[in-house]
Chain A
Amino acid sequence: MADQEPLRRGIQIGLIAFAILTYAILIGIPIRLGAAAFPVLSALVALFIFAMLRRPMKGYPADRPAISIIRQAVTAGLIAGALVAALIWLFTSLMADGVRLQPIFDKVVPQNIAALHNVSPGAIANGEVSWTSPLLQIGMMALAGLAGAGLVLLNRSQGADSLRARRIPGAKWIVIVLPFVLMLFVIWLGQPAATFGGAHKGTVRLLLAMITFGSGLFSLRQASQPRERIIVGVLLTAGALYMPFTLDQFQNSVMGLVFIFAMMGLGLNIVVGYAGLLDLGYVAFFAIGAYVYAFISAPFSSPFITQQLINLGIDPNTPLLGFWLAMPVTMAIACVSGALLGIPVLRMRGDYLAIVTLGFGEIIRLFMLNMAPLTNGPRGLLRIAPPAFGSFALGSPRYIFLLALLGAGLIAFAAYRLNDSRLGRAWTAMRDDEDVAQATGINLVRTKLLAFATGATFAGLAGQLYAARQVNIFPENFTLFVSIDALSIIIVGGLGSIPGVVLGALALKGLPEVLRGIDEYRIVAFAALLVIMMIVKPEGIMPAARRKRQLRRDDIPVEESPGPNPDSGAAASLEERSS
């Protein structure tokens, strides 16, 4: 009797895995994978089973017998295997009978099914598939279940958090050194002679570059001693700044966009993550930054400004200010508009605030769309000047990426210092309990406006760089989806966590580019990835230390290890100062 429940759960997991496999087959993923299709799908099922079983089942001891887990996982694998083999066999026999499924499922073609059987498409049409093939498929899925159980047991034997380096001596150093190894690999891949990844070498390299940045953040977090921190930090910075010079144009262009969004996410993180003010119209400040810089550097694009300049006797065909001198202007205007938005919404909270800010974002976009004399309407502002040092233009993707890196670093630094100050504490207090914060002496008006204004300033800076990257900007660049992207970035990364925002930007803006291989389904695949991510790690990839304790209470005992905790930025720096 006692084993009924685990088995039922195993069957459930098998059914879900079957649903995922069906989806993958219907959208034609096997076509892309070719001969490797079924093994790859099996590996995915193994990972899925591991993800589902890695936590102890409710009502069962964490150390229930290995045989129970194995039985459960193999059941899941068998169920998924039997069902998917039946489905594939159904398709196979229908195709052998000459039934065309393509009008209904446009990706269910002989090529697709053939990949699953690892035979040639012609064999499908001729009905030459051996009856042993489904048995082989069921067997592979059962093995996948076994592999999933193995992963669960391996994970369990190393403690609940095997990745937490302080449990395994030496692992800490592996994590610290990993980004440098990856970096060397990325550089090596850049050599024309390197053939790793074949035709997909560029994509592989881009993915590796992103993983390198991600692992760099984990590396920095692992360096616990102040001195280690400085050395690792300096080396990582040097590595990051070298990265643009080794990647190619496309890779740099993607990474530039990633880090522009990281800049924006870091700004939004102040408003939403620190101060708890849910802002859905954040794109407005990004747009304002971009348009202000466009007005300054390409005044001839705007009929109204051109006219004014001619009246004043100024030549409208040259930029009014260079990129660097324009920076304070854009930031100041974004800052003021942030404060101006803040004033009407001061008394609003939560949902109401979200709706009003959402409206503000749309107002700005519609303004830009319809104020044709000023903004040139849907035709946009064209030929925006790139940043330059003297006569040396920095407009190529390489330098835009470099500037975005520097900008993100600068904003991260500012955000860290602000959060670790009287103002940052006031923001957190306001987020936790607004009324009590006020009764404790915090001026809500001032604190809220500062949050909006700081966030807007950073978004403005990101917008300016974005305008320089795009060269031509249009109102369509600044839709609601940009706000949603920015918000997703900070939620996926971990609300209130600076490295989390960068990781979120890499995952959300970078991964879709890597996933271009599965073209039209990439957004769907990506959405599935997000849903899974939010189920498995609701507090984000790299959560802020305090927030983590807030969301996962059952994990607290694991968190409370003696000694300095590198996870808690604020707490650690308090310790440093008090010792």
Chain B
Amino acid sequence: MPLLAASHVTKVFGGLTAVNRVDLEIEKKTIASLIGPNGAGKTTFFNCLTGLYKPEGGEILFDGQPLIGRRPDQITALGIARTYQNIRLFGTMTALENVMVGQHVEMHSTTLGALLRTHATREEERRAIERAHELLEFVGLGGEEDTVARNLAYGDQRLLEIARALGSSPKLLLLDEPAAGMNPSETEEMMALVRRLRDKLGITILLIEHDMRVVMNVSDQVSVLDYGEKIAEGTPDEVRANPRVVEAYLGPGVHEESGDGRLPRRKPVTPPVSAA
């Protein structure tokens, strides 16, 4: 049974169908990628998965549980965590505290317990701090525990978002453009980290990414969205060879114009595949 099974997911904004009958299945402990030109509906699809948007149609099963209709915090408790395209940390809190907020669903201390600082609460806090240290160490932020999040370097903020997401011990981690704005060596480290997430922690990963080196390097499975519809799916090599994908990114060639009135498409952010 796949960990995530989305079928016919549809999300409409006014007259715009941002996500149109998208099916997506992700097997456990794989790395899946979601690619497509800007505005293809990738982040909207993420928001449908995490409960920020309520899809108009379709069904999403996670680990056998339906997701549609649940609140974001309930979905997080089920085991889905995410990062954001434009980094959204809790800016005034330290790195350690950010990860501890990430552990919110894992902790159970009550208001009364916090007031009386009971033994159970203190134990839980101690374990949470320990775990936060481990997670920061894992993503490579050891030593930055007490730095206020907004003062971290850009790349480190991306790493902290991942550490915070790991706090809830997710089964599925959604990464929205984790390598955006990174230089080549940081991108290498990010790819290594994504692989380690799967291999060491056994986490299933779905990522949105424009950097095709990342996508082609780490993915077990690639799905391509265009105009809210899934136009291709398969291994990186299969997707790379698919003419519809090339068309979506580069626009139809002049002699291939199908005459359906479609204008040439927008420019790709990153050339998807080498011309060869």
Residues of A within 8 A of B (CB): 414, 417-418, 420-426, 428-429, 431-433, 435-444, 450, 454, 546-547, 549-550, 556, 570-571, 574-575, 577-578
Contact = CB atoms under 8 A, between A and B. Distances in A.
Given A439-B73, A442-B73, A578-B129, A421 B101 contact: no
B93 A425 contact: yes
B104 A425 contact: yes
A421 B168 contact: no
A424 B71 CA distance: 21
A426 B121 contact: no
B140 to A, nearest CB: 19
Nearest to B94: A571
28 contacts: A421-B114, A422-B100, A422-B109, A423-B109, A425-B104, A426-B101, A428-B101, A431-B92, A432-B91, A433-B90, A433-B91, A435-B52, A437-B101, A438-B71, A439-B52, A440-B164, A440-B168, A442-B104, A443-B71, A444-B73, A546-B94, A546-B148, A547-B92, A549-B148, A549-B151, A577-B129, A578-B129, A578-B133
A410 B109 CA distance: 21
Contacts of A417: 114-115, 117
Given A570-B97, A574-B146, 14 more contacts: A418-B114, A424-B114, A425-B93, A429-B90, A429-B101, A432-B89, A433-B89, A438-B73, A439-B72, A440-B104, A571-B94, A571-B146, A574-B129, A577-B129
Contacts of A556: 151
A421 B76 contact: no
A418 B112 CA distance: 9
Contacts of A426: 101, 104
B156 interface: no
A550 B151 CA distance: 10
Nearest to B93: A428
A570 B146 CA distance: 10
A436 B164 CA distance: 11
Interface string B93-131: 110110011101101010100110100010011101100
Interface in B190-247: none
A450 B167 CA distance: 23
A441 B168 contact: yes
A422 B104 contact: yes
B96 A432 contact: no
Contacts of A428: 90, 92-93, 97, 101
Given A429-B90, A429-B101, A549-B148, A440 B117 contact: no
A425 B82 contact: no
Contacts of B76: 439-441
The CB with the most chain B CB atoms within 10 A, among A426, A556, A574, is that of A574
Interface in B80-94: 81-82, 84, 88-94
The CB with the most chain A CB atoms within 10 A, among B104, B121, B124, B126, is that of B104
B77 interface: yes
B102 to A, nearest CB: 6
Interface in B124-182: 124-126, 128-129, 133, 146, 148, 150-151, 164, 167-168
A252 to B, nearest CB: 30
Nearest to A556: B151
Contacts of A575: 146
Contacts of B101: 425-426, 428-429, 437, 440, 442
A425 B97 CA distance: 7
Contact of B107 (A418, A422, A454): A422
B44 interface: no
A432 B73 contact: no
Interface of B: 50-52, 71-73, 76-77, 81-82, 84, 88-94, 96-97, 100-102, 104-105, 107, 109, 111, 114-115, 117, 121, 124-126, 128-129, 133, 146, 148, 150-151, 164, 167-168
A574 B96 contact: yes
B173 to A, nearest CB: 13
Nearest to B82: A439
A436 B71 CA distance: 12
B125 A577 contact: yes
The CB with the most chain B CB atoms within 10 A, among A425, A439, A450, is that of A439
Contacts of A454: 111
Nearest to A573: B125
A450 B126 CA distance: 24
A459 to B, nearest CB: 17
A41 B87 CA distance: 53
B115 A438 contact: no
Contacts of B91: 432-433, 550
| 10 smallest beta-carbon distances between A and B, as pairs | A421-B114, A441-B105, A441-B76, A432-B90, A439-B72, A429-B101, A441-B104, A438-B72, A436-B88, A429-B90
A436 B52 CA distance: 10
A550 B92 CA distance: 7
Contacts of B167: 440
A74 to B, nearest CB: 41
B226 to A, nearest CB: 26
A433 to B, nearest CB: 6
Contacts of A418: 111, 114-115
Contacts of B168: 440-441
A445 to B, nearest CB: 9
A546 B71 contact: no
Nearest to A413: B115
A429 B88 contact: no
B88 A433 contact: yes
A63 to B, nearest CB: 26
Contacts of A414: 115
Contacts of B164: 440
Given A546-B148, A577-B129, A437 B90 contact: yes
A432 B164 CA distance: 15
A422 B117 CA distance: 11
B109 A421 contact: yes
A442 to B, nearest CB: 5
A422 B125 CA distance: 8
A423 B89 CA distance: 18
A511 B96 CA distance: 40
Contacts of B105: 441
A338 B85 CA distance: 37
Contacts of B51: 439
A439 B121 CA distance: 24
A443 B109 contact: no
Given A418-B115, A439-B52, A439-B76, A425 B92 contact: no
Contacts of A571: 94, 146
Given A422-B107, A578-B133, A440 B102 contact: yes
Given A428-B97, A442-B101, A571-B94, A423 B129 contact: no
